[in-house]
Amino acid sequence: MNDQTIEQHSAIEEEAIRAGVKEWLGLAVLMLPTILLALDFTVLHLALPHLAIDLQASSTQQLWILDIYGFMIAGFLVTMGTVGDRIGRRRLLMIGASAFGVASIVAAFSFSTEMLLVTRALLGVAGATLMPSTLSLISHMFKNAKQRTVAISLWMMSFSGGAVLGPAVGGVLLQFFWWGSVFLMAVPVMVLLLIVAPFLLPEQRHPNAGKVDLLSVVLSLFAILFIIYGIKHFASNGWNVTAFLWIVIGAGVGWMFVKRQLILRDPLLELKLFNNKRFSGSLSMMLVGAIVQGGFVLLFAQYLQMVVQMTPIEAGIWMTFLSVGSIIGSLIAPVLIRWTSRFGAIAIGLIISAVACLLIIFLEVDSSIAYSIMISVLLTTGFGPLFVLTTDLVIGFAPPEKSGSAASLSETSGELGMALGVAIIGSIATALYRFHIDLPGTVPEELAQLAQDTIAGAVGTMDLLPSGVAASLLAQAQASFMTAFQTVGGISLAILVGLIFVTLTLFRQVKS
Kindly report the CATH number assigned to the domain that includes residue 492.
1.20.1250.20
Query: Is residue 225 domain-resident?
Result: no
Is a pLDDT exceeding 50 seen at residue 2?
no
Q: Are residues 167 and 292 in the same domain?
A: no
Do 468 and 366 share a structural domain?
yes
Last residue of a domain, one of 201, 227, 250: 201
d(CA 83, CA 211): 9
Say if 228 falls within a structural domain.
no
Spatial separation of the C-alpha atoms in residues 253 and 264, rounded to whole Å: 17
- Is 239 inside any structural domain? no
Burial class (CB in 10 A: 0-12, 13-18, 19+), 116: buried
How much is the average pLDDT of 339-364?
A: 91
473 in any annotated domain: yes
Q: What is the pLDDT of residues 141-186, one digit of tens each?
A: 887 777 888 888 888 888 777 766 666 676 677 677 777 787 888 8
Number of compact structural domains in the chain: 2
Please give the C-alpha separations between residue 392 and each of 285, 369, 385, 484, in angstroms, as whole numbers.
13, 35, 10, 35
Distance CA 201, CA 189 (A): 16
What is the Cβ-side half-sphere exposure of residue 119, based on CA atoms within 13 angstroms?
A: 21
CB 276 within 8 A of CB 397: yes
Range 429-440 average pLDDT: 80
Rounded Cα gap, residues 410 and 389, in angstroms: 11
Statement: the pTM of the whole predicted model exceeds 0.85: no
> Do residues 358 and 467 share a domain?
yes
The mean per-residue pLDDT over the stretch 438-450 comes to 70
Query: Residue 260 to residues 217, 268, 354, 388, 419: CA-CA distances in angstroms?
Result: 11, 9, 40, 31, 26
**Residues in contact with 414: Cβ distance below 8 Å, sequence separation at least 6, in sequence order:** 286, 287, 290, 387
At residue 120's C-alpha, the angle toward residues 115 and 123, to 5°, is 130
Confidence label for 375 from pLDDT (cuts 50, 70 and 90): very high
Residues 49 and 137 in one domain: yes
Do 279 and 269 meet the contact criterion of CB atoms below 8 Å apart?
A: no
Confidence of residue 498 (pLDDT cuts 50, 70, 90): very high
Sequence letter at residue 190: M
Residues 165 and 292 placed together within one structural domain of the fold: no
DSSP letters spanning 222-261: HHHHHHHHHHHHHHHH-S-HHHHHHHHHHHHHHHHHHHHH
- The last residue of a domain, from among 150, 183, 201: 201
HSE, CB side, 13 Å, CA atoms: give it for residue 14.
20
413 or 299, which is more confident?
299
For the chain, the maximum distance between any two Cα atoms, rounded to a whole number of angstroms, is 80
430 plus 313 within the same structural domain: yes
pLDDT category at 8 given cuts 50, 70, 90 is very low
**428-434 average pLDDT score:** 84
- Whether residue 42 is predicted with pLDDT greater than 70 in this model: the reply is no
Q: How confident is the model at residue 374, as a pLDDT?
A: 94
Q: Cα(362)–Cα(351) distance, rounded to whole angstroms? A: 17
Task: Check pLDDT > 60 for residue 1.
Answer: no
The mean of the pLDDT values for the chain is 80
Asked if residue 289 and residue 145 are part of one domain, the reply reads: no
Residue 4: is its pLDDT beyond 50? Answer: no
| pLDDT category of residue 512 using cuts at 50, 70 and 90 | very low
Looking at the structure, tell me whether residues 279 and 180 fall in a common domain: no
Residues above pLDDT 70, as percent of the chain: 85
Same domain, 503 and 391: yes
Amino acid 356: pLDDT:
95
Q: How far apart are CA 104 and CA 181, in angstroms?
A: 10
Say yes or no to pLDDT of 497 above 80. yes
The whole-angstrom separation of Cα 182 and Cα 45 is 11
Among 289, 330, 23, residue whose Cα is nearest residue 161: 330
The reply to whether 394 falls in a domain is: yes
Are 197 and 291 members of one domain?
Answer: no
Classify residue 2: in a domain, yes or no.
no
Confidence of residue 32 (pLDDT cuts 50, 70, 90): confident
Sign, CA dihedral 229-381-166-184, equals negative
Model confidence at 351, pLDDT cuts 50, 70, 90, reads very high
> Cα(109)–Cα(179) distance, rounded to whole angstroms?
9
- The CA distance from 382 to 352, in Å, is 5
Q: Would residue 133 count as lying in a domain? A: yes
8: in domain: no
Q: Chain-centre distance of CA 508, in angstroms?
A: 28
Per-residue CA distances from 371 to 53, 157, 164, 356, 411 (Å): 39, 24, 21, 10, 32
Residue type present at position 201: L
* Residues 146-161: b if buried by 16+ CB within 10 A, e if exposed: ebbbbbbbbbbbbbbb
For 179, the domain range is: 18-201
Last residue of a domain, one of 178, 201, 224: 201
331/187 same-domain check = no
**Are 33 and 133 part of one and the same domain?**
yes
Say if residues 387 and 342 touch (Cβ distance below 8 Å): no
* C-alpha span between 180 and 76 (Å, rounded): 25
Range picked from 202-211, 434-443, 484-493 for highest mean pLDDT:
484-493
